[in-house]
């Protein structure tokens, strides 16, 4: 998905065995708790100080886990961990936190979560952040090659054969590079392997049970862990929930339509502030001007950096967090009204440009999604589905398609996506905004049905992705209560107010907590 981000293909010879093994493991928690030969107890963790000015009690450690959990005595890899220790006399144990992706680093998130929760709640938990296998400071690190997102890319919408061919060559080259660089580890980069890592981590923490708080893709990782080890779950919080029935190809098609609707909400907001942006008072007219800007950039990219694909990259973060809308609207207005492309280039560099380190997160994103479940291998299927969806949702359908398209050519075979239906868990708590684009609302409803007894807290009218601990007091109170007591009920909270144009809010930016959280969660994850 654009965040949620994608499926894998793996080693040909072992396909049937791999699918059978994983499916059987996920059908039986007892079997899944100890697949293959019994693993030796992990060594206790050695924590060292790695405090920052923002998170003065942060500690770091590393954990060895098997590359292949069915061969626990074989090659070991390492996971990078962080911890904010509990301060209360009585601890409720570890609370693992994950920002999503796949491919997102969770080490800093531990400090954020511990500081954002009420002190009496955070003090009862050891808040544990981690870089999943292949990510960040974990080893080995996946990086399939620099330059995949170097501007100016071919137009994402393939209006002619040459443009489609250029995009296909890009994604095929990326898949081939991953195989060349990481053939030894690609079969073991996936959600099930990552979930089994969490069980090793629980053992290393010497905890009978663990709690888990995941955003975005992290909701799926948490649900898979809970399926494997329901008796090891103390609390389970899932925020901005992946639809487990659609991983990952179908989820991306649903995401395309949701992002288009969210983009229209942004354009309607721009029209509401015509006195600031001068782009018109009619949302449809503002939308037409946005697509006129896109067409102009096809001919003359702004600053030799921002073509149509980069424009989509720049505005897509507005679908994750409306706190970015004033910045994006100002850049849009400067380009379309003032004929000044510099603010648009600056917005691209702030929101759309891929940092060199992001090659790692995208590599893991692709490896996980391409491995987790089957994707169409016939490009004709993709082409037909994308044009059909593009006709209804033109904003980012093709951009998202190319982001995920390496999975059509991935070198390792896909696994069978697990059924996360679970009747053996303690009560779980889900959070979801009704207008979330990255993980549409229907996914939370689907997950709630699968997790028996779970509670769903809905942010009515909200469209941000990642909503707990982002400034909504109603949501945060329900989270705190659940972490303290383990009890929750279905509820509805009002969304936070929409942002105002920048001149009115320079002194106090809208939802500072939301901006901090979304900086950690990132985009497409």
Instruction: Write b or e for each residue in 300-339: b if 16 or more Cβ atoms lie within 10 A of its Cβ, otherwise e.
Output: ebbeebbbbbbbbbbbbbbbbbbbbbbbbbbbbbbbbeee
**What are the two backbone dihedrals, phi and then psi, of residue 196, each rounded to the nearest 5 degrees?**
-70, -30
Indicate the burial class of 16 (C-beta count within 10 angstroms; 0-12, 13-18, 19 or more).
Answer: exposed
Q: 177, 216, 333, 361: which one is catalytic?
A: 216
Is 465 marked active-site?
Answer: yes
Beta-bridge partners for 61 = 81
Residues 6+ apart with CB under 8 A from 68: 74, 75, 188
Residue 30's H or E segment, with its range, is helix 29-33
**Pair 84, 58: CB distance under 8 Å:** yes
CB atoms near residue 122 (< 10 Å): 21
Q: 155, 197, 239, 436: which one is catalytic?
A: 436
**What is the rounded distance in angstroms from the CA atom of residue 82 to the CA atom of residue 95?**
11
Beta-bridge partners for 97 = 129, 213
**What is the rounded distance in angstroms from the CA atom of residue 368 to the CA atom of residue 157?**
25
Question: Own/partner pairs for 440-443, CB < 8 Å, 24+ apart?
Answer: 440/243, 440/254, 440/255, 440/257, 440/258, 442/243, 442/254, 443/241, 443/242, 443/243, 443/244, 443/246, 443/251, 443/254
Indicate the burial class of 45 (C-beta count within 10 angstroms; 0-12, 13-18, 19 or more).
Answer: middle
**What are the two backbone dihedrals, phi and then psi, of residue 233, each rounded to the nearest 5 degrees?**
-100, 125
What does the CA dihedral 296, 297, 298, 300 come to, rounded to 10 degrees? Answer: 90
**What is the rounded distance in angstroms from the CA atom of residue 211 to the CA atom of residue 343?**
44
**What is the rounded distance in angstroms from the CA atom of residue 313 to the CA atom of residue 353?**
8
**What are the two backbone dihedrals, phi and then psi, of residue 433, each rounded to the nearest 5 degrees?**
-90, 140
**What is the rounded distance in angstroms from the CA atom of residue 191 to the CA atom of residue 197?**
10
Is 436 marked active-site?
Answer: yes
Q: 211, 465, 476, 518: which one is catalytic?
A: 465
User: At what angle are helices 217-228 and 441-450 packed, to 10 degrees?
Assistant: 10
**Pair 57, 51: CB distance under 8 Å:** yes
**What is the rounded distance in angstroms from the CA atom of residue 102 to the CA atom of residue 57?**
27
What residues act catalytically? 216, 436, 465
């Amino acid at each position: 998905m654009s965040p949620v981000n994608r499926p894998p293909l793996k080693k040909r010879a072992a396909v049937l065995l791999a699918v059978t093994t994983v499916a059987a493991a996920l059908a039986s928690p007892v079997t899944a708790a100890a697949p293959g030969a019994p693993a030796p107890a992990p060594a206790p963790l050695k924590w060292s100080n790695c405090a920052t000015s923002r998170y003065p009690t942060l500690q770091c450690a590393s954990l060895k886990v098997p590359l292949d959990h069915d061969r626990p005595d074989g090659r070991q890899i390492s996971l990078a961990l962080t911890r904010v220790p509990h301060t209360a006399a009585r601890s409720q144990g570890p609370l693992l936190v994950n920002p999503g992706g796949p491919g997102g680093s969770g080490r800093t998130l531990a400090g954020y979560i511990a500081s954002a929760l009420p002190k009496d709640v955070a003090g009862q938990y050891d808040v544990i952040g981690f870089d999943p296998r292949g990510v960040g400071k974990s080893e080995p690190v996946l990086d399939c090659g620099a330059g995949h997102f170097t501007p100016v890319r071919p137009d994402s919408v393939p209006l002619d054969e040459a443009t489609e061919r250029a995009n296909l060559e890009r994604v095929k080259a990326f898949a081939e590079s991953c195989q060349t660089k990481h053939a030894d580890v690609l079969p073991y980069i996936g959600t099930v392997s990552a979930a089994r890592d969490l069980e090793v981590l629980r053992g290393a923490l010497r905890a009978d049970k663990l709690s888990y708080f995941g955003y975005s893709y992290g909701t799926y990782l948490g649900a898979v862990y809970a399926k494997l080890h329901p008796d090891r779950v103390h609390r389970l919080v899932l925020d901005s929930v992946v639809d487990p029935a659609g991983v990952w190809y179908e989820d991306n098609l649903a995401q395309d339509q949701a992002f288009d609707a969210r983009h229209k909400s942004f354009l309607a907001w721009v029209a509401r502030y015509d006195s600031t942006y001068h782009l018109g008072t009619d949302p449809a007219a503002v939308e037409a001007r946005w697509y006129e800007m896109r067409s102009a950039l096809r001919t003359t990219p702004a600053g030799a950096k921002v073509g149509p694909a980069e424009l989509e990259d720049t505005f897509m973060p507005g679908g994750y967090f409306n706190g970015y809308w004033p910045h994006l609207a100002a850049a849009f207005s400067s380009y379309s009204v003032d004929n000044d492309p510099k603010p648009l280039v600056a917005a691209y560099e702030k929101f759309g440009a891929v940092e060199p380190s992001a090659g790692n997160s995208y590599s893991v994103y692709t490896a996980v999604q391409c491995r987790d479940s089957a994707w169409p291998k016939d490009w004709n299927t993709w082409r037909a589905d994308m044009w059909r969806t593009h006709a209804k949702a033109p904003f980012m359908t093709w951009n998202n398609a190319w982001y995920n398209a390496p999975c059509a050519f991935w070198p390792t075979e896909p696994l069978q996506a697990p059924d996360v239906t679970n009747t053996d868990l303690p009560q779980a708590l889900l959070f979801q905004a009704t207008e979330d684009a990255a993980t549409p609302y229907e996914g939370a409803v689907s997950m709630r049905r699968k997790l028996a007894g779970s509670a769903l807290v809905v942010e009515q009218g909200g469209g941000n992705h990642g909503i707990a601990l982002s400034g909504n007091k109603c949501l945060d109170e329900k989270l705190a209560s659940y972490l303290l007591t383990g009890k929750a009920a279905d509820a509805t909270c009002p969304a936070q107010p929409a942002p105002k144009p920048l001149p009115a809010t320079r002194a106090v930016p809208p939802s500072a907590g939301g901006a901090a959280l979304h900086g950690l969660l990132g985009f497409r994850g």
